[in-house]
Structures are given as structure tokens and as C-alpha cells.
Amino acid sequence: MKLGVCYYPEHWSQKHWETDAKEMHTAGISIVRIAEFAWAKIEPEEGKYNWDWLDRSVETLASAGHQILLCTPTAAPPAWIINTHPDILPVDEEGRRRRFGSRRHYCPNNKTYHEYSKRITQAMAERYGDHPAVIGWQIDNEFGCYFARCYCETCTTEFQNWLQSKYASLDELNERWGTIFWSQTYDKWAQIEPHNLTVAEPNPSHVLDYYRFASDSWIAYQQIQIDALRESIPTTQFVTHNIIASQTTIDYHDLARDLDFVAWDSYPTGYAEMGSHDLYAPDEQIPAYAHDTGDPLLTGFFHSLTHGLKQSPYWIMEQQTGAINWSLYNTGVRPGALRLWAWQAAASGAEATVFFRWKASRFGLEQHHAGLRNHDGSADTGYADLLTIKAERQQLDDFVAQPLQTDIGILLDYSTLWAMEMQPHRKDFSCLKHLFVFYRACKALGLEADIISPQADLSRYKILLAPNTFLADETLAQKLDGFTTQGGTLLLGVRSGFKDIHNVVTEEPLPGVLRNLAGARVAKWHALPPKISYPIQSELADLDPDVTFWAEALEPADGTKMLANYSAAPFDGLAAITEKSHGNGKVIYCGIYPRFAQAVALMCHLAKLETISILDIPAGLTVFRRGEKLLAMNFTEEPIAFSTKSGEYSVAARDFSIITE
């Protein structure tokens, strides 16, 4: 595990730089990330570069033994650019042009901004591309944060161009979108505007394509900088970007494609305080963890999502070190929390953890955001944890020396996520919530999962969970068919195959193009209001007999067996869960929206089909397996007993144990 830190030399007098650099090195830091928001300092006037301060900071850090990660500063264009070209500012969904004065204040489709971004990127690459201490580059910062979808005039024109590239003709677009509904048929491309500001809800096919266009806009903008960097930097220097894994406005699978690896920014207490409602069911009891550790299942979900983007190791580009400033309570962080986060990241597949930040900021929005050291330079709580991590580095490296084994893939399709977001049908039906319940079930059994794209390599997985195949086409059906034919076990979930990829309901019996693969027909489907449940009976061990939230009545085809069936009206006698052999594999259609305990029972069944060993992990404990060793992590305030085949163990509160099976 490599350790790094985010540093802002432009925020501090030069007299502090050498001391800071030496103290970082003493604390075990080897990588320093700089220049993230420094455009105004680098180029105070158009075409006039001030390299002196950046040259000195690079040399100061390099002389102290650090490797340097440089950032392109395009997330914060300076005032002189905006003053000269105010059309760079984005327009929000309400039609308001936003102002200068914070960050991320630009439209990704603005051609003028493209040229400025390309020029500053090229200038930095030419200046530092050959520097021996520079190991890589971060493009921009947190695409999608604050502002992901612009609705300006430029975006309107570019959207029309995007549509013309996608569809052969307006007739095809009208057919795909079903514009005959409400007399929305177009006869000129120029008639098609963004979907915002309509009187009633807009056409969901129109909205979905705008979301795709907006996502593609960021990917194209990123590519401008990738290309500019590649022209001047050696192949030994990497190019990456730091995502906010909880954000859903950009298709991160597409964004990751041309990066050397992906990074994400981890703030466990903030995600737990503000993000729990996005992943847990509204009537579900959220696990009780220590107030200052965050929720390891939420954090772990985002680790798995980031690992799955390229199905390979990743970095934590910003790791919380203490109190943050943007959440609900911004809880104080006690000794030990940072150590837990670093070990969890490494066990989840992170190759480097870069801590945010070295010193707390004295000015700007982040004055209440902690660093490893306080505003006056004294050590904060996270610094003591960093020294502990440094002392444990060999132990940590020994544990992660064995490869991370992920036998399970969980499909995440951002187009499906967006389609469900705009038409959930049942309140709180969410793609991520649905995936998260299966992810938690995996973790309860000691199983590691990658959250992956439908276009990913599926051959490395034994089990493929596809709870949300709401949008489906023949390409997806053939890929899933190939996975099961070759011996994989596939689970399909409710609402599978309901629509085509244009967000239009299929003409076929449900689950549409997946019906032959599933070996069952969805005869009826009901969204269930709170306190209403349908009873089922099942041969699956420990499967709770009540279906809530969403229920589908299935008619199995010949050769498909019922794993569970409804035992009372209105679906009495019809299947709730089915299973069929397909080639050398199995297909399970889960016609219920499972609660956590039901998802655990299903995962036990799937693991048995694939002869994958499982663990019985008590609530509050997070366990990782590397080779013959287990890392048992306790994020609660009380010790937790844990039994394995090698013995009985007690894992102390807010601590971990390494166990050899």
C-alpha cells in the first residue's frame, strides 16, 4: 500500500514547504498530490505563466524523497477566463446561468473552454512531463460533483448533433422515442431541445438520451486532456481521475475506459450521514456502527464499484483524515478511525491511499475540514493514526500480498439506473438500493463482489447478479446466455427486460428478450405499499415467507423448477423464484424484491451451486479473505465474537484482527 497526501503549497508561505515536505516523509508519506485548483496561480493572466512557485514546490518535495502527482487545474477556471468568456458558465435545469465564485463552474461542451483546458494541460505536461519525480497526472477533479448536466445553448446544439450521430433519421428517432404520444413528433432536428422546463413530465426516452449525452460530454471533455497529456508525457507516467463513487450522473464505466486506473474520494462519515437513505430501504434498520467510523458496508460498496470499473486495483485519491465540513453533523473523529479506513481500502483492492489533506485550510469553503495537521501546523488526530499505519505497513503489505478473489459480479448499468430514477413506479425503488441489498448479503457471507458494467469481462466470475436489467436488448441477452452456457450461475431480478434500450416498454411477454434465458414468464406484477405482504413457501433454507415492496407472479416453462411459490391470493400457486439449467450453468429468476435476510438466503443457495465456501459473519463485523488469512474488522463500539474453523476469536471495538484459517 502506497501512502500519499494532498498538499496545497499555494496556500502556505514558502517558508513552510521544506518543513512540511520533511515531516511528510518522516510520517511515511511517499506521494504528494499538488496543483489541483492552482490555475490562477499558474496562469494569472492569459498566456503569462508563473512557473517559479510550482517549480520550487516540485523541487522541494522531490528533494525530500517524494514522488509527485500533478493535477490539471481545470475544475476551477480563474476569473479572467470567465470575465472574457462568460458563456463558459453552465446553465442549470431551471434555465439559470450560474456565476463565478466557487468551483466546477464550466460547461463541458464549451469549445472555448476546451481550448483553454487543452492549452493549460499541454503547458503543464511540457514543463513537467520529463521530471523524474513526477509519476502521474490527475485530470480535473470529481467530474459530476455539484454540476453534471448543463442546459445552455451550446449543449442544445451539441445534443442535436449527438442525436444525429446516433439515429439514422428523424423517423428513426420518432419511432424509438415513441413521440407519437402527446403529439411530440419532430420534423426538424432543431426542434429537439433539452427536456428541462416542460409543462408536464417530459418523454422518458428523450430524458434518457439527454442523460447519456451529458455523460458522454464529460467523457469527451476528459479525452481532450488525456490526449494533450499523452503528447508530452512518457509512458511511465499514469493518467487517472478521482470520481465520487456515490454520484450517478456520469457513466463511470465509460469514464474509466481510457484511464490507466481509477481513483475515488472516500469520506466515510459524510457518506454514512448523508448517503444511507440512498442505499438502505426506508423501513430498514440501519446497522449501528461507531459514530466516527462511517458505515463499512457503504464504504465497501463504493470500493467494490471502483474496483469493478476496470476490474483491477485503484487508488483512494482523497481519504478523510478527520472532521469534514459538508455533511449533516460533521462528527469529530477519534483515534483509530483513519487506521480502519486505510486497512479496509487496502483489503478491498486499493493500491494507494492519498490522505486529504496535509494541513487544514485557513480560508475558503473548507476552513472546518480537518487535515493530518491543524491550521497552526500541530498534529491532528489523523496524524497519530498515520504513524500507526506506517508502523504496520509490513503487516498490511503481507496481508494484501495474496490476490483479491472476487467470484461474484454485480451488474450496474447507468442507463438502467437513470431510467428507474425517472420512472421508479414504486416510491423508493432504486437501482442502487436493489444492488446494495445483494452486496450486503455477499459481505454477510464473506464473499467479495465487483460491481461491473454489462460490457465487462464476465468470464472471471462464478456468480453473476443482475437484479436490474430493466433495459435489455439482444446484445445483453446473448452475453448473459454465454456466461451461463459456459457454466456460470446467473440471478435475474424483478422488472428484468421490461424495456428496450430506448426506454420503451417491450412488445414481448415479460421478461422480454430475457424470457427464454429465464425460463419463465412474468404473468403479473404488483408494487406493494407499506405493511402489505404476499406469503410464499420455499425449499430454500431460511427464506423469509413474506414478500414486500415488489412481487412478480411467474409461470415457469418446461424444465424450469419453482424454488418458491405464492401460497395465497392474488398470486396463489404461481412461482415467486425459479431456477433452470442453461448450458453448463444455472439461471435463477428472483421475482421478489428481497429484504436483507432473503438476499442472504438466496446467496447461500447460489454459493452452494458453485461450491463456494461461505462464512457466518456476525452483524457489525466486516471480513476480508486473502489466501488463508482473514481480516476481521470491527466498526462498532463493542467487541464482537467471531467463529471460524480455526477457532473462536474476539475482535475489539473499533479495531481488527488478522486470523489464519
Q: Which residues does 111 contact at the CB level (< 8 Å), separation at least 6?
A: 154
Which is the catalytic residue, given 43, 318, 448, 552? 318
Judge whether 392 counts as a catalytic residue.
no
Q: For residue 341, give the nearest of 325, 327, 328, 324 by alpha carbon.
A: 324
* SS3 labels along 464-488: EEECCCCECCHHHHHHHHHHHHCCC
* CB burial of residue 190 (10 Å; 0-12, 13-18, 19+): exposed
Q: Could you give the CA distance from residue 442 to residue 206 in angstroms, rounded to a whole number? A: 36
Asked if 373 and 380 count as a contact pair (C-beta separation under 8 A), the reply is: yes
Residue 114, CB-side half-sphere exposure with 13 Å CA sphere: 14
SS (H, E, C) 5-43: EECCHHHCCHHHHHHHHHHHHHCCCCEEEECCCCHHHHC
> Shortest CA distance to 138 belongs to which of 50, 262, 231?
262
- Are β-strands 238-240 and 134-138 bridged in parallel, bridged antiparallel, or unpaired? parallel
Give the position of cell 426516452: 205
Q: Which of 23, 36, 142, 273 is catalytic?
A: 142
Through-space distance between the first and last CA atoms of the chain, rounded to whole angstroms: 23
Residue 58: strand, helix, or coil = helix
Measured on CA atoms in the order 541, 596, 489, 493, is the torsion positive or negative? positive
Q: How many CB atoms lie within 10 A of CB 605?
A: 22
Q: Residue 24 in contact with residue 59, Cβ under 8 Å?
A: no
- Quickly list DSSP for 331-388: ----TTHHHHHHHHHHHHTEEEEEEE-SB--SSSTTTT---SB-TTS-B-HHHHHHHH
Residues 336, 615: contact at Cβ < 8 Å?
Answer: no
What is the Cα Rg of the chain in Å?
A: 26
* Long-range contact set of residues 277-286: C-beta below 8 Å, sequence gap at least 24: 278/246, 278/430, 278/432, 278/433, 279/432, 279/433, 279/436, 280/433, 280/436, 281/428, 281/433, 281/437, 281/549, 281/595, 282/428, 283/530, 284/595, 284/596
Residue 96's CB is within 10 A of a number of other CB atoms, namely 10
Question: What is the number of alpha carbons within 13 Å of residue 378 lying toward its C-beta?
Answer: 2
**How far apart are the C-alpha atoms of 224 and 75, rounded to whole Å?**
14
If one counts every other C-beta atom within 10 angstroms of the C-beta of residue 168, the result is: 8
Contact present, 174 and 180 (Cβ < 8 Å): yes
524 three-class SS: strand
Q: Which region, left, alpha or beta, applies to residue 69 given φ > 0 means left and ψ of -120 to 50 means alpha?
A: beta
Grid cell listed for 660: 489464519
Q: Which residue has the cell 416510491?
A: 427
318 catalytic residue (yes or no)? yes
554-584 CB burial, b ≥16 within 10 A, e <16: bebeeebebbbbbeeeebeebbbbbbbebee
Which are the catalytic amino acids? 142, 318
